[in-house]
Structure 1
Amino acid sequence: MNLAYRDVRHNLFRFVLTCLGLSLLMAVVLAMIGIYNGLVADALNIVRAPQVDLWVVESGTQGPFAEASQIPGTTRDAVARLHGVAETGSITYQTVEASNAGVPLRLYVIGYEPGHPGGPQTVTDGRGITQTHFELIADRQTGLAVGDRITLGRDSFAVVGLVDDVMNSGGDPAVFITLADAQVLQSQLAPPAQRVQAARGIGLAESGDTVAAVIARLDPNANVQQVAQTVRQWKHLGALTQGEQEGILIGSVVDRAKRQIGLFLGILLTVSAVVIALIIYTMTMEKLKQIATLKLIGAPDKTIVGLIVQQSLALGLVGWSFGLVLILLVKDVFPRRVVLEPVNAAALGGIIIVVCIFASGLGVRAALKVDPATAIGG
């Protein structure tokens, strides 16, 4: 006879209600894990999208994702002549506020050279960019559709294609335009400001041919470290391998978000442990007379301990199961991408088992201290 099962059946409504409450906590914990995974996935998607081996950036900077980087557009030709380099491309990144059907839209604009590395790998709807100017490929999360038009800066762009899951670490959906359009967009000023600059003679001799980085694919037999060292010998340039760029992104750009989410996870797990402990303690105190009766008829302590620990595990695991189902149902509604891997859910399940065992300690202690005479005393 399983005493925990019989006790749960006797108070089924309260047990289910308690599990639903715990499931909301578990859903929040899983959402936090999924949001962090999504943040990392989005950040790495951007840096991995060009599928290159080397990033040539401004000397003294950590690349276009961690800080500002500006180098001459002619750098691509110089890098292309290096031994071991197979393909090169110039690329720019900038965040732009636009409007779609009267709704403000924050976009991560990627400028690239068609026919060179840096553009979208797979266009899931529509086609790629074929014109030199005013065509755009958008991530589906922008809400744009093929054939729509959107104004960036002072120019109107036609949406010719859509891609999936291309966002930056801040959750802003990406759009791809030609490098020439991107350079115009990043140098455009409002007309009054432009007139002031022209009157002061500022910028008249400056070239607008600057890019955030030059990216390079190497020959299969080329040594990426040797090529990077060659680039670093040019005093005005720095070079980062793909692995180094990804490491900077994870260790610098998303590090604070990672620590913040980790703190929230710790707090939520602590709250879960306290809630489970209080619930089990309350349930134990309510049946002290029944526990005393069990002791009076000779039930061993392990039977009583098993009753309490099994109820604690049932609460935690049922709450975890409900929470997992809940977050899987609503994760697509979140404004940020939620990526929940099976290993994350399994790891949380293991943590919940440990938490439940420790949380049942308070109830076990109260049960073991019960005097069997309580059953007779009424």
Structure 2
Amino acid sequence: MNLALKDIQHGLFRFVMTCFGLGLLMTVVFAMTGIYNGLVVEALAVARAPAADLWVVEAGTKGPFAEASSIPADTRDAVARLPGVIEAGAVNYQNVEASHAGKSLRLYVIGYERGRPGGPARIVEGRALDASHFELVADRKSGLRHGDTIKLGRNRFTVTGLTDGVINSGGDPAVFMTIADAMALQTELDPSAERVQVARNATSVKSASVAAVIARLHPTADTALLSATVRQWKHMSALTQAEQEQLLLVSVVDKARRQIGLFLIILLTVSAVVIALIIYTMTMEKLKQIATLKLIGAPDRTIVSLIVQQALILGASGWTIGLLLILLVEDYFPRRVVLEPVNAAALAGIVFVVCIAASALGVRAAMKVEPATALGS
């Protein structure tokens, strides 16, 4: 007969509710872990989307993500002529506000040259851009659907395809359009502002530029040499893909990542204390029953097994409930939640260690109980 299971059956409702409460706590821990991972993944998603090896940006900047960058669009031709460059493309990035279906959308517009690097890596529904103007590919998180139309600036764009997982560090879903449309969206003025410019006999168009030129290199190309060559050009700088990602993590999301990481550590500490208190309290409530077991001659290993098994069942139940709940609700979070198997395994290890440590405290208290306690009132 397993005493741990018999004792659980005796107070089944209370034990189930305790497991469920612990499961909710584990859900929060899983959620914070997933949000921490998601913050990093989102920050790198846009930078990794074009699968570039080299980023050419404005000199003295950390652009185009960590800092604003503006270079002439024809820089792409100069980069494409460098030895070791397979292909190059100009890209543009900007945030826009738009209205769709009665809702306000904040979108991250990515302009790229069709047939060149910079476009969506994978289309999950629909097709890529075919026309030179007024088409876009949107991320699913935008809420746009294949075939929808949306007004950006003065023009209406048709959604020809959908991609997935391309979100900037601020959580804004990306939309891809041609570089010409993106530059027009960047440079065109509001009609009222244009009338003011005309009245002043000034130009009605802002100067056009691109945020960066990206290049894919031959596997044997010397990336460091190419970067040094670009840096010798006037008003230009170059970043490798690794440098670009490091800049994003250090400059853009470092504080948010550290804050969430610190909160996660605090939450794990609180969870460990709560688990320990629950297990210790469960043991203290059974001291009279433990004394009775001693009185009838039950060996110490039976009492130790009772406490340790219940502690592990409680921890395993809470961990399982927490994992199931976060898997059910992760898609409803406004920001991306990324939970890796290694995270679940690490939390399982932490719960196991805490349960063993807490049960050790309970065992210590149980071993001090005198059998005569069972005869008291």
**TM-score category by the smaller chain?**
over 0.9
Matching residue's letter, 2:267: L
Deviations 1:292-312 (A, max 9, x none): 223334445444333223222
Counterpart Cα distance in 2 of 1:339 and 1:5: 36
- Hey, what does 1:371 align to over in structure 2? 370
- Hey, what does 2:35 align to over in structure 1? 35
Q: Does 1:99 align with 2:129?
A: no
- Hey, what does 1:58 align to over in structure 2? 58
Counterpart Cα distance in 1 of 2:316 and 2:354: 11
> 1:195 Cα deviation (Å)?
3.9
- Hey, what does 1:8 align to over in structure 2? 8
Counterpart Cα distance in 2 of 1:207 and 1:225: 35
- Hey, what does 1:20 align to over in structure 2? 20
* Kept after mapping to 2: 8 A contact 1:33/1:344: yes
- Hey, what does 2:335 align to over in structure 1? 336
* Kept after mapping to 1: 8 A contact 2:91/2:118: yes
* Kept after mapping to 1: 8 A contact 2:187/2:208: no
Deviations 1:29-51 (A, max 9, x none): 11222222222223322111111
> 1:163 Cα deviation (Å)?
1.5
Instruction: Give the 5 Å matches for 1:298-309.
Output: 298-309=297-308
Structure 2 residue matching 1:62: 3-state secondary structure: coil
What TM-score does the superposition give when structure 1 sets the normalisation length?
0.93
Q: Does 1:146 align with 2:146?
A: yes
Counterpart Cα distance in 2 of 1:176 and 1:221: 31
Structure 1 residue matching 2:371: 3-state secondary structure: coil
Residues 154 and 206 of structure 1: is their aligned pair in 2 closer, same or farther, counting only changes over 3 Å?
Answer: closer
> 1:17 Cα deviation (Å)?
0.9
> 1:270 Cα deviation (Å)?
2.1
Deviations 1:122-142 (A, max 9, x none): 223222222222111111222
* Kept after mapping to 2: 8 A contact 1:138/1:176: yes
> 1:241 Cα deviation (Å)?
0.6
- Hey, what does 2:229 align to over in structure 1? 230
Counterpart Cα distance in 2 of 1:121 and 1:274: 45
Instruction: Give the 5 Å matches for 1:58-207.
Output: 58-197=58-197, 204=203
Return 5+ residue gaps in structure 1 as ranges.
none
Counterpart Cα distance in 2 of 1:201 and 1:29: 61
> Which shifted more, 93-102 or 34-43?
34-43
* Kept after mapping to 1: 8 A contact 2:189/2:205: no
> 1:200 Cα deviation (Å)?
5.7
- Hey, what does 1:357 align to over in structure 2? 356
Counterpart Cα distance in 2 of 1:8 and 1:366: 20
Deviations 1:107-135 (A, max 9, x none): 11000111211111222322222222211
* Kept after mapping to 2: 8 A contact 1:140/1:164: yes
Counterpart Cα distance in 2 of 1:67 and 1:362: 54
* Kept after mapping to 2: 8 A contact 1:184/1:208: no
* Kept after mapping to 1: 8 A contact 2:279/2:355: no
Counterpart Cα distance in 2 of 1:61 and 1:357: 53
Counterpart Cα distance in 2 of 1:310 and 1:252: 48
Instruction: Give the 5 Å matches for 1:42-53.
Output: 42-53=42-53
Matching residue's letter, 1:251: V
Counterpart Cα distance in 2 of 1:323 and 1:47: 33
> 1:322 Cα deviation (Å)?
1.1
Matching residue's letter, 1:80: A
* Kept after mapping to 2: 8 A contact 1:124/1:162: yes
> 1:222 Cα deviation (Å)?
1.0
Give identity over the alignment, percent: 69
* Kept after mapping to 2: 8 A contact 1:273/1:359: no
The size of the alignment, in residue pairs, is: 377
> 1:316 Cα deviation (Å)?
1.1
Deviations 1:13-60 (A, max 9, x none): 111111011111111111222222222223322111111210001112
RMSD (Å) for aligned C-alpha atoms: 2.1
> Which shifted more, 158-167 or 297-306?
297-306
Structure 1 residue matching 2:86: 3-state secondary structure: strand
Return 5+ residue gaps in structure 2 as ranges.
none
Counterpart Cα distance in 2 of 1:180 and 1:149: 18
Matching residue's letter, 2:105: L
* Kept after mapping to 1: 8 A contact 2:150/2:156: yes
